[in-house]
Structure 1
Amino acid sequence: MTESHITVDSEDFSDQGYAESTSTSYLSSIASSILRGVDENGRTYASYGKTVQGMPIDEQEQDRNDLQHAKFMLLLKGKLHLAPITEDPQKILDVGTGSGIWAIDMADKYPSASVTGVDLAPTQPTWVPTNLQFEIEDIEEDWLFRKNSFDFIFGRELLMAIRDWPRVIRQAFENLKPGGYLELEMTYPKTYCEDKSIDLETSAYAESARLLFECGRQMEVPWEASLAWKEQFKAVGFEEVTETILPIPIGRW
C-alpha cells in the first residue's frame, strides 16, 4: 500500500498565479477550494466541476457509496464487473469513483493494471494499492487522457451528475484500446410489484420514485437516461453491446 497523490489540472488555477508554485499556493488552493466543498442545507457538495451536482460529497455520502458497493456485490454475486475483460488488463479507468471502493478492489484483483479513479472531489482514502491513483477530473469536460489507452472504463451510479451521456460515451470510446470495454451501471428507480400486493398509486416507495424522476427533470439529469445507453453505445461505434437488467428487491424478507 502507498499514499496516493490527488492531482488537478493546473490550468484550472492558472488565473490565480499558481503556475509558479508546486508546493505552497498550488496545494493550498486544493485544500481551500476543492477539499472544503460547498455547504448547503447541512450537506457538503463539490465546488469543482462544470455543472451543479445533485449528490453530496460528505462523509455520510461516502458511507452510502460503500453500502451501495456492497449492494452491487450481492446483486452481481460477488463480481466487480460484468464485462469479459482479460485476466491481465493494463489500464483501467473508474469515472465518478466516489469513495474509491470499487477502484481499490479492482487494483487488488488486477495487480497487472494501472487503475485510475477520477471524481470531482478528493474524498478517497490516502492509503491504497500501489497500482492505483486518484485524480480530480470532470468527465463532462474534454478528457485529457491519451486516446486508445484503456482496456476497461467503468462508471457506476453517476446519480444526478451527467447531462450529456452521448458525449461521455463517445469520449470513453475514443479513450479505449481496440477491443476494450465500457461498462456503465445505474439504478432505474421505477417501483414495481410483481404480486400486486402494494398499491403503487399510494405506496410511499412509488411516491419517492416519482419525486426522484421529477428532481432529475428539474436538474436536466433524467433518471431515464440509462434506457438509452444501448443505442448510444452503438451510435459511437461499440460492437456486441449487451444490456443486463436485474431486479433490486426492496423490503424486509
Structure 2
Amino acid sequence: MAETTAQDQTIITTNHAPANVEVDTSYEDDSSYGDELSSYTASLTSSVLEYRHENGRRYHKYRDGSYLLPNDESESDRLDMLHELCLMVLHRKLYLAPIKHPQRVIDLATGTGLWAIDFADEHPEAQVIGCDLSPIQPSLVPPNVKFLVDDIESEWAYEKDPFDFVHARYLAGSIKDFGRLVKQCYRSVKPGGWVEFQDFDPYPASLDGSLHGTGLERYHNEVYGAFEEAGYEVRPGPKLEQWFKDAGFVNIHVEKFILPYGIWPKDKHLKTLGAWSQAQAEAGYEAGALAILTRYKNWTKEEVIALASQARADARRRDLHMIYYFYIVYGQRPEH
C-alpha cells in the first residue's frame, strides 16, 4: 500500500493484483472442463417501454443509440452474473466507501437494479434511486427503492437535493465523457458525502503471452477499437483516480483487483472468479459486438457471429491464461 498527500487530497492505493498467478496444471490435464465450469457458475410511461429490435436482439428506444448493448432477457441475465462476480471480488460487500447512515443514495446506470435493491435491504433507513436508460428492473422491490428512466450523460437535476452516496458500476464502453460525469457526481453529492465507481480495464492480457495471436485477442481489438473510434471510453478503470482528482474529491482511495478468465488459476478464490468471469463474457460476446460493428463498421451479422464464435472457442483453450483488471475508486466531497 502506498500513501501520498498532495494539497488537500489523500490518495491511498491498494493493489490486490499479484505479480503472477499460478496455473492449476491439473485443470489443463482434466477432460471435464465443461462440467467443472458449470459447477462454478452453478411508474414508467409507454414511450420508454418501446424498444429497438435489431439482429435478433432488443435495445433501448429512449435516447436511441446512446448505449450500444442490448437490454433483453439474455443481457439481463449477464448483468446479474456481473453483479455476482463483483460481490465475490469484494467478499460480498456492495461498496468500499466508508459511508455512515446514508439517507439519500443513487445508483447510476443501475441495469437490472440488483445493487440498488441489495443496498436498500442493507440500509432500510436510506431512500435509494436507481436510474437507467431501460426500464428492465423488477417491479417487486423494497419500499425504499424507486427506479427512474434517465440519461446520466445529460444535464442532471439532483444538485438541489443532493445525495449522501453516489454509486456507479461497470460503465466501460457506455460513457463518452467520464470526466464530466464524475464532476456531475461531485456537484450532486452533499459536502462530506462519498462517490464510488467500480469499473474495468477490460483489455485482456496474459502473464505468459498465451493470448497473443488468438481470436480472443482479435475480438477485443476489433470491438473495443470500434467503441473507441465512436467516442466511447472503454478503459475507465485506471483513469478514475485522475478524474476524481480533477473533480475536487479528497480522501481518494484506489483498489485494484486481478480477474482471471477461466478456471486455470490454482488459487481457489481466483479460480471461482475466473469461472464467473468467463461465464458472463461468453454470454456477452455477440451482445457486445453486434451493434457497434454493424452500425459503425459495416460488418454483417454473420461476420460478427463468426468473430464471437472464434473468441468463445479460444476462451476455452486450456493453454490460454487471460487476465484483466477491476478498479474501485471512491472519494469524498470536502466538508467545506
TM-score of the pair, normalised by structure 1: 0.83
The amino acid of 1:235's aligned partner reads D
Query: Who is 1:39 aligned against?
Result: 53
Moved more, 226-235 or 170-179: 226-235
Do the aligned residues in 1 keep the contact of 2:107 with 2:131 (CA within 8 Å)? yes
**Coordinate RMSD, CA, aligned:** 1.6
* 2:221 is equivalent to residue 183 of structure 1: no
Q: How does 1:34-73 map to 2 (within 5 A)?
A: 34-49=48-63, 52-73=66-87
Q: Does 1:120 align with 2:133?
A: yes
Distance of 1:61 and 1:51 partners within structure 2: 16
Residue type of the alignment partner of 2:188: N
Secondary structure in 2 matching 1:188: strand
Q: Amino acid of the residue matched to residue 136 of structure 1?
A: V
Instruction: State the match for 1:249 in structure 2.
Output: 260
Amino acid aligned to 1:246: F
Is 1:219 aligned with 2:242? no
- Partner residue of 1:209? 220
Report if the CA contact (8 A) 2:106-2:128 is conserved: yes
Measure how far apart 1:189 and its partner are.
1.4
Contact between 2:200 and 2:236, CA under 8 Å: does it hold in 1? Answer: no
Shift of 1:132: 0.3
1:80 is matched with 94
Count residues in correspondence: 222
Return the alpha-carbon distance in structure 1 between the equivalents of residues 243 and 65 of structure 2.
22
| Cα deviations by residue, 1:182-210 (Å, 9 ceiling, x for unpaired) | 1111121122223x1x5222233333322
Percentage of pairs with the same residue: 34
Partner of residue 20, structure 2: none
Matched, 1:147 2:160: yes
1:106 Cα offset (Å): 0.3
Query: Which runs of 5 or more residues in structure 1 are unaligned?
Result: 7-29
| More strand by percentage | 2
Which structure exhibits the higher relative contact order, with contacts defined as CA atoms closer than 8 Å and separated by 6 or more residues?
2
Whole-angstrom CA distance in 2 between matches of 1:193 and 1:60: 29
Q: Is the 8 A contact 2:174 2:233 kept in 1?
A: no
Give the TM-score taking structure 2 as reference length.
Answer: 0.63
Give distance in 2, aligned partners of 1:179 and 1:95. Answer: 19
User: Partners in 1 of 2:200 and 2:247 — Cα distance?
Assistant: 23
Q: Distance in 1 between matches of 2:120 and 2:142?
A: 6
Q: 1 CA distance for matches of 2:263 and 2:150? A: 39
SS of 2:125 mapped into structure 1: coil
Structure 1 SS opposite 2:206: coil
